[in-house]
Amino acid sequence: MQELTADILSRVITPRKSHSHKGDYGRLLLIGGNENYGGAIIMATEGAINAGAGLTAVATHLINLTALHSRDPEAMFIDWRDQHLPELIRKMDVIVCGPGLGVNLQAKKVMNILATNVTEKQTVVLDASALDLISQDHQLIPAKGKLVLTPHQMEWQRLSGLRIPFQTDGANLAAFKDLLLGREAILVLKSNQTRIYDLFGHQAINPIGNPGMAIGGSGDTLAGIIGAFIAQFDYSFDTISAAVYLHSLAGDIVYKDNYVVKPTALSKRLPELMKKYCAKERKM
Ligand SMILES: NC(=O)C1=CN([C@@H]2O[C@H](COP(=O)(O)OP(=O)(O)OC[C@H]3O[C@@H](n4cnc5c(N)ncnc54)[C@H](O)[C@@H]3O)[C@@H](O)[C@H]2O)[C@@H](O)CC1
Ligand SMILES: Nc1ncnc2c1ncn2[C@@H]1O[C@H](COP(=O)(O)OP(=O)(O)O)[C@@H](O)[C@H]1O
Ligand SMILES: [Mg+2]
């Protein structure tokens, strides 16, 4: 099992070209945030924007509009009941679905719209409630496109049937293969030592991060960061590993002087860290 180091950041984070525009850094749609969990989708949005997504749109419950825009004016908004949602989904490069989505009928409708509109070229990151919904109904797994699954150990237990003490590398990989046979997919199994697997034999473990990050919203933020990284640097095992590593590195910096790592504080550290570890900047 490969241990991630800071080298992964310099390999993935490339300098921006002068001759470029927002369209070159990816169109990202985040879906989630019901009446009770609006904070989850806002934290995912802060992760995504601070990690550099070119354009970020958010499909959420209408009740979250003012809070979202007052925190993150960079994000565009769509009511998730809007009839234009399928069209918007098809225009995106990357879709992150699940933070604060919930599991009620409306959440299932949204997942169904996603599952039937994703195209081959797109990547879908499934997190949180979206993972619980696909545990209940595998038909809700998007039929096309590349997939990234980001369960914590309890979500993985529900999805794979593997109880937490039995989540060994061999068992995880076998369960992941069973679930997504023949698909291009990456599993990010979150814990105090997050493990990343693909179906081609790549495996990595993240040795950094800290218990200050054990707070609601840490994973929502990571989902946004992963979405932004794929939007800018393309889908690969390294891109997703770099996003996981950066999330923990930012968390460790906040943790140096703070007992808890507020996810919004973690997100604020991302732009400076990306600048610091960007390949060319490092050589200068
Ligand atoms: N501010 C907000 O609006 C927040 C909303 N959230 C949303 O709440 C919904 C339910 O998600 P939850 O994850 O809270 O609930 P879950 O019931 O899916 O899982 C949480 C429980 O799993 C157990 N667990 C075991 N191993 C774990 C591990 N390695 N990491 C995390 N938990 C582990 C813990 O007992 C924990 O209480 C999701 O839609 C989620 O996005 C959460 O993200 C928290 C913040
Ligand atoms: N003790 C810990 N050490 C290192 N990282 C942690 C620790 N506890 C939580 N994390 C990280 O915080 C995130 C928690 O994700 P998740 O449980 O999905 O949170 P939420 O759904 O509340 O946003 C994961 O990335 C996990 O690796
Ligand atoms: Mg979570």
ipTM given for this complex: 0.98
Substitution candidate for ligand 1 out of 36, 152, 218 with most atoms within 8 A of CB: 152
| CB 141, CB 159: distance < 8 Å | no
Residue ranges per structural domain of the chain? 2-13+21-283
C-beta 251 within 6 A of ligand 1: no
* Domain covering 2-13+21-283: architecture: 3-Layer(aba) Sandwich (3.40)
> What is the per-residue pLDDT for 281?
56
Relative to beta strand 27-31, strand 94-97 is parallel
**pLDDT of 266 strictly over 70:** yes
The answer to whether 280 is annotated as binding is no
Q: What is the CA radius of gyration of the chain?
A: 17
Task: For residue range 67-93, list pLDDT tens digits in order.
Answer: 999 999 999 999 999 999 999 999 999
**pLDDT of 9 strictly over 60:** yes
Q: What is the mean pLDDT of the chain?
A: 96
User: Half-sphere exposure (CA, 13 Å, Cβ side) for 101?
Assistant: 31
Task: For residue range 198-257, list pLDDT tens digits in order.
Answer: 999 999 999 999 999 999 999 999 999 999 999 999 999 999 999 999 999 999 999 999
> What is the per-residue pLDDT for 280?
62
Substitution candidate for ligand 1 out of 134, 153, 154 with most atoms within 8 A of CB: 154
Q: How far is the CA of 151 from the centre of ligand 1 (A)?
A: 10
**pLDDT of 62 strictly over 80:** yes
Q: Nearest ligand, CA of residue 135?
A: 1
The answer to whether 54 is annotated as binding is no
> What is the per-residue pLDDT for 46?
98
C-beta 154 within 6 A of ligand 1: yes
Residues with CB under 5 A from ligand 3 (ion): 128, 219
